[in-house]
Every structure is written in C-alpha cells, then in structure tokens.
Chain A
Amino acid sequence: MKTLSKLVQISAILATCLLMGGCDDVRVYGSVGYSSYGGYGGYGGYGSSVRIGGRIY
C-alpha cells in the first residue's frame, strides 16, 4: 500500500511537470533565444553615412 501511494505521488509529480511543460509551448515567442540587436549593444554613431534602404515602389 505504501509503495502504491509513493508511485501515485511520483506519477502526479511527473504529470504536473509534463503539463507545465505543455503550458510553455503556447508562449509563441518564449523560445526565441536572442535579439539581432544584442539588447543594448553598441550600435550607433553612424551619422548619416550608412546607406539603409526603404520603400521605393
């Protein structure tokens, strides 16, 4: 009986972990690992010498 009880408890813990893992899946941006900008990285000071693009048509 004691062994069965422990098995139930372990199963419940595993089920909870699995379910919470499933919750993570719905966060569509939750697995994005990094930003192209590197957060507060050191881009800047280009003046207007850098040619960027933009709409033409």
Chain B
Amino acid sequence: MSFTAKWRIAFIYVVLLSIAACASVNINLPSVTDTPTGERLPGKIIWRDLLTNDPAASQKFYGELFGWEFESVGTASNLESDSSYTLIRHNGQLIGGMIDTLALNGRRDISQWVVLMSVEDVDASAEAVTANGGTIITPPTDLQSRGRLAVIRDAEGALLGLLETRDGDPRDSEPDVDGFLWDELWTSDVGSADAFYTKVAGLTKGTVDVDGMQDTAPTYSLLKAGDTPRAGIMPNPLEGLDPVWVSYIRVEDPAAITSRVAELGGRVIVEAGPRPVGGEVAFVAGPSGAGIALQTWPLEQNNQDLNP
C-alpha cells in the first residue's frame, strides 16, 4: 500500500472517530428530583447549578459547611472529560449540580451559581426572552430525563436557565436546614425585571409591605405564581456587582458559618447580621468566587405583620 493510501485510510479513521465521539456526547442528566410529581410549577426555582473553576475546593467548602454530598455522573452521562457533571445531594435528596468550568473550553472565569426556573413551554419562553430584551445563551436543548433547557440572560443581564422538566417539578416543601430556602434577583431595574419575568415565566408581581423593610428595601418585589411567592427582586445592594440571581441557604447560625468560610477558601462578603423583619442573613463567596446567601428560617416575627 502506498504512503498516500495509508494516509487516506488514517484520515478517514480519524474522521469516523470524530463523528463517533460527537455522537457519544449525549447529555442525559437525571431528573431534578428523585420523586417527580408529573406536574410543572411555572416560575418556581427548581434547580441550581454551581459553575466552578475549582470543583475539589468547592466540594470541600459546601461539604464541610452544609454537609452536602457529591456524586459524579460525567461518565455515566457520556459527558466525558469535556463536560463533567456532579450531582449535589443533601440528606439524600437531590438539590443541585456542579460543573467544572475548566472543562467548558472557556478561558474566562464564569464561576457562579445558576438558578433554573420552571417553565411550561421552554420554546415559547425563549421566544418571550428575545421579545422582551433578553439574550439566549443556549437555545432550548433536550437533556433527556431532565427535560428541555434554555440558558438565557434577562433584560438586565442576569444569567439563569429555563427548564421544562420532562417528568415534573419537585413539590413544594418546607426547606431543610442547610438546604436551599429562597432565590432573589439583584438587579439594576426592579420594574423592568418584574415585567420581564411576568412575560417569560407567567409570574405576577407582588409588592411587600413589611414592618422594618420600608426604609431598607422600598422596592423589594415578589414574583408570585398565583398566591405563592416564588422569588424576590431587589435593587443590587453591592456596588459594581452585575445583575445576578442569588440563592439563599437555610442555616441555623450564619455567624458560625461565616467564621469558617476563610479557612475553607471562601470569603465573607456581607457579615452575619440581623434582618429588620427578623432573623439573620449573611452573604459569602465560595472558593471559585460564586456568591451564596445564608439565612435563618422561619422569621422570628408574627406573620400578621407580613402582608404580601
């Protein structure tokens, strides 16, 4: 066989291997819950993915502070080395995922928590995103058992996912200690954000009238599905921070957590302190720089003072 013929065969072999490799990148992430309801709850934040440039340090940080457990599914999902994915569990229950951003072929640091909001029809919601000033990062994409996901930025630039689950969303329940409690958009234009999420996710606007909050957050807004508050929107409290969705973890003692943040590679951004409406909050960054808030729950206040 001539050298040219051998080269051609080798080349064809490489092409076929490339095709086979591409075909094997078949994302099949598990459902967002072990006990899907078969029902979608549009507007609810049903999942959170941590994009991190240091998965090992992030596992240690969240594992030691909150007792979270981590389960790699990269190989099982055929994601291979270019897109490894790790499930996060708390008390045995699925609560989120973690992605090694160094495997996403990006040279920029994109570390952050990304919330996934439930939608009934992700294709229709994606159309509403572009019609209302948002940006599509990833068009609606099938993730098999998980459902169909689009990654977007809202009109002010906050990143989030819109997920149409295949098997239904997690049911509403009282959050566990060290589990996710609440989600909040910190943005540059609360009114615009209200309008955006009303149109994209079918939520309605609800204002807050709570003793103690009038001076500190006069424009705090609720996103509601029917009578159920699903998320909050408030003016960005940190100068220079781009609009961002922030998730809150229910903790019993924020100060006890913040005292350990530095030794685990994180930073305390807002020290633990009391809330005007009751309880305590803090805001910290993990080893990759992704921010997460801490809050005690329930409020130590008579609910009659709260008038949504």
Contacts and interface: CB of A to CB of B under 8 A. Distances in A.
User: A and B bound?
Assistant: yes
Interface of A: 5, 9, 12, 15-16, 19-20, 22-41, 43-44, 46-48, 50-57
Given A27-B83, A51-B217, A51-B237, A32 B270 contact: no
Interface string B79-111: 000110000000000000001010011101111
A36 B240 CA distance: 9
Contacts of A19: 18-19, 22
A28 B109 contact: no
Contacts of A47: 270-271, 273
Given A19-B19, A55-B182, A35 B111 contact: yes
Contacts of A31: 137-138, 151
B216 A29 contact: no
Contacts of B11: 9, 12
20 contacts: A12-B15, A22-B22, A23-B21, A26-B26, A29-B104, A35-B51, A35-B108, A35-B110, A36-B157, A36-B158, A36-B243, A37-B291, A38-B289, A43-B269, A43-B285, A48-B272, A53-B232, A54-B279, A55-B295, A57-B306
Main secondary structure of the interface of A (DSSP, over half): loop
B124 interface: no
A5 B19 CA distance: 21
Contacts of A12: 11-12, 15
B234 A53 contact: yes
A46 B269 contact: yes
Contacts of A46: 238, 269-271
B238 A43 contact: yes
- Determine chain B's interface SS by DSSP, over half rule: mixed
Given A40-B289, A43-B269, A55 B51 contact: no
Interface string B252-274: 00000000000000011111111
B109 to A, nearest CB: 4
Nearest to A40: B289
Contacts of B203: none
The 8 A-B residue pairs with the shortest CB-CB distance, nearest first, are A48-B273, A39-B109, A55-B182, A36-B244, A36-B242, A51-B216, A48-B271, A54-B295
Contact of B285 (A16, A32, A37): A37
